[in-house]
Structure 1
Amino acid sequence: MSASGGTKAIVAALGANLAIAVSKFVAFAFSGSSSMLAEGVHSLADSGNQALLLVGGKKAQREATPQHPFGYGRERYIYAFLVSIVLFSVGGMFAIYEGYEKIKHPHELEHWYWPVGVLVFAIIAESFSFRTAIKESNELRGTLSWKEFVRRAKAPELPVVLLEDFGALVGLILALGGVGLALATGDGVWDGIGTLCIGILLVLIAIVLAAETKSLLLGEAAGLEEVEKIEAAIVDGDTVTRVIHMRTLHLGPEELLVAAKVAVQHDDTATEVAAAIDAAETRIRAAVPIARVIYLEPDIYSESEATKGADPEAAPGGPAPAAH
């Protein structure tokens, strides 16, 4: 996995969640707090999720094969989608069930200092993990807002870790609130309500992750900035005069497929056209290094055909209509 995959953030989150999970289960054993149990399962699920992301990153590095000629880059998307499923089922649904049971059958907390101490420790640990994820994300997101970064990021690991850490921090605050109200009122129902809120939060985060990862699995095009760089790199103004139409597709977070039909001069020889195509491919790779699979088809641009209407296959926001 490349540095842009957020390996440092994943490892930091994994270490924090394992330590926090152990402390939460210990606190549950001594206090009987359902919030602690739900949070312990949440941290355990998060640890498994980070392990899945690391496995996905490793598998994505495999070389292409005749059966998979474009490689295994999308393995990272598959494992990120599995993370959303785990977060929904193991984390969210378990917490909702546990919260419902605690509301129906509340009992007073015992040894309250255990859950309170563990929650304070967990908030500190998760804050460090969240800070690492934010720091790595800032190196990639540029001027994008956090919402835009999560929606547009092609590498799934950092958005996953960001949302998980954010959900963990909010969940810890909810758990602390539930435990605090249960202690203040002597009514264990508040502990159950806190647990229920944690479950709902995790389900919502899992749904967002699933929706964003599904889009990546289906295949997303390059961003507008990259498309503009590729189009500018293709045209040399001599042999290659314009882009007739173009398609781009992410084969993985750091691997882009580019397929385009380009206009060449009608009186150029085959040798000149071939040399121009090779030069265009070199310029594309220099402008957008992740463009690793490039197919350029030369054609003759016809103004009369272009005036008949836009290319029905042209992508929205793509180059001007053309024909041959």
Structure 2
Amino acid sequence: MRNKESIFKKGNRAALLASIVNTIIAIIKGVAYFFTGNVAMFAEMMHSFGDAANQLFVFIGSALSKKLPTNRFPDGFGRLVNLVLLGAVIIVGVMSYETIKEGIMHILHPTESTGLLINISVLGVGFLLEVYVLYKAMKEIVHETGGQANGLAVIAMSFKNFKASKPATKLVFMEDMVATLGGIIAIIGILISYFAGWHAAEGVASVIIGIMMFYVVGNVFMDNAKGALGEADDELEDKIAEYIFTNSEIKDIKTLFAIKEGENYHIEMKLEIDASLTVAQAIAIKERIEGKISEINGITDVIIEFLVDDGVRTWFNHAHKDVN
């Protein structure tokens, strides 16, 4: 039992917080929809329930991915978070479909909903809670990527470092960004329906919210499919190569791979050195390089193999390769 508790303590905190908050928001929206029958509120309810379930899976997956390797799974469980997220997007996909379908039905057969004050109040409270969770996710991105910012500076830095954040945090950020915008769109749709008499506006709002949810599904699916397959990170490889060549003993890089495994990176490289170096010197160089690379955030292991320099330049950065 203690072991399970310690594992779940390592889960993504932003995802757990988002799941709890979205569950509360979804229940409140569900009660409001029950009394008012507002289709825009239905869309927001489905969105919040989908996000809550999704983010709970994300939390569990991020925690289990940190389990230590076993005899049966010697490579560890790093990519488990990618597989869980691939499953989680199915939930959002189903919710997206239902949201769009309900919106289209309301556009084709518009009906007047009631409870303007209830709807606006609930969506307003939901919007404020979503903003709170979104800001927490932004702070988590800044923390994960080694940045330092406070106040409004967190917003700018989170967008700047978004791509470098962990898959779980990235998903929470995207979902809550869409949820925050969705709340605004739902409020606009309700106000247009009430004051302009165009009741189909609520259905239009529902369709827009559903399409935004599908956008999240597509992005998360592609990102985690790459992670599950073990995508190489060109930018990180170039960054490591730049450091490697600051070591005068290294003549060339034969191969260098920075493979993303879940939330972390596995580094493998073959480096060419002068044949005149002694074994003791080679070991010292290896330990120095491993230590420096291991300091980079997210890198869990580094494997280095030395080869004798063949006098032929092999390594060029990826920008140079693209040009040629």
TM-score range, shorter chain: 0.7 to 0.9
Partner of 1:163: 174
> Hey, what's the Cα distance between the residues in 1 that align with 2:295 and 2:49?
43
Q: Is the 8 A contact 2:40 2:205 kept in 1?
A: yes
Q: Which whole-Å CA distance do the structure 1 matches of 2:124 and 2:230 have between them?
A: 42
Matched residue SS, 1:118:
helix
In structure 2, do the counterparts of structure 1 residues 6 and 65 end up closer, same or farther at CA, with 3 Å as the change threshold?
closer
Residues in 1 aligned to 2:197 and 2:294: alpha-carbon distance in whole angstroms: 67
Structure 1 stretches lacking a partner, 5+ long: 320-324
Q: Which moved more, 1:271-280 or 1:106-115?
A: 271-280
Whole-Å Cα distance in 1 between the matches of residues 301 and 144 of structure 2? 23
Report SS of the residue matched to 1:288. coil
Matched, 1:132 2:133: no
User: How many percent identity over aligned positions?
Assistant: 22
Aligned position for 2:268: 259
| Distance in 1 of aligned mates of 2:241 and 2:291 | 8
Select which of 312, 315, 318 maps to 1:316.
Answer: 318
After TM superposition, the structure 1 stretch with the greater mean CA deviation from structure 2, 190-199 or 131-140, is 131-140
2:49 & 2:205 partners in 1: Cα distance? 19
Partner of residue 298 from structure 1, selected from 301, 306, 318: 306
In structure 2, what is the Cα distance between the partners aligned to 1:135 and 1:23?
Answer: 26
Aligned-pair distance for 1:250? 1.9
1:99 partner letter: G
Query: Unmatched 5+ residue regions in structure 2?
Result: 1-5, 149-155
- 1:55-204 equivalences in 2 (<5 Å): 55-90=60-95, 92-141=96-145, 142=147, 149-153=161-165, 155-204=166-215
Distance, in Å, in 2 between the alignment partners of 1:2 and 1:222 is 27
For residues 286 and 209 of structure 1, the distance between their equivalents in structure 2, rounded to whole angstroms, comes to 28
CA contact (8 A) 1:235 1:280 kept: no
Amino acid in the other structure paired with 2:49? L
Aligned Cα root-mean-square deviation (Å): 3.1
In 2, the alpha carbon distance for the partners of 1:289 and 1:159 equals 16
SS of alignment partner, residue 301 of structure 2: strand
Change (3 A) 1:289 1:136: closer
Q: SS of 1:247's equivalent?
A: strand
Alignment partner for residue 216 of structure 2, among 197, 205, 210? Answer: 205
Using a 3 Å threshold, how does the CA distance of structure 1 residues 61 and 32 change in structure 2: closer, same or farther? Answer: same
**Cα pair 1:234 1:284 within 8 Å, conserved:** no
- Give distance in 1, aligned partners of 2:118 and 2:76: 49
Equivalent of 1:247 in 254, 257, 260: 257
Q: Tell me the TM-score normalised to structure 2 length.
A: 0.82
Question: How many Å apart are 1:55 and its aligned residue?
Answer: 0.9
Q: 1:286 to 1:121 in 2, by over 3 A?
A: closer
Distance across 2 between alignment mates of 1:114 and 1:183? 13
Deviations 1:201-222 (A, max 9, x none): 2112221222222232232334
One-letter amino acid matched to 1:116: I
Contact 2:30 2:45 in 1 (8 A): yes
Amino acid at match of 2:132: F
State the one-letter code of the partner of 2:127: I
Hey, what does 2:3 align to over in structure 1? none
Mapped partners of 1:135, 1:290: distance in 2:
17
Residue 71 (structure 1) shift:
0.5
CA distance in 2, matches of 1:258, 1:138: 23
Q: Which residue of 9, 14, 20 corresponds with 2:14? A: 9
**Does the aligned pair in 2 maintain the 1:6–1:157 contact within 8 Å?**
no
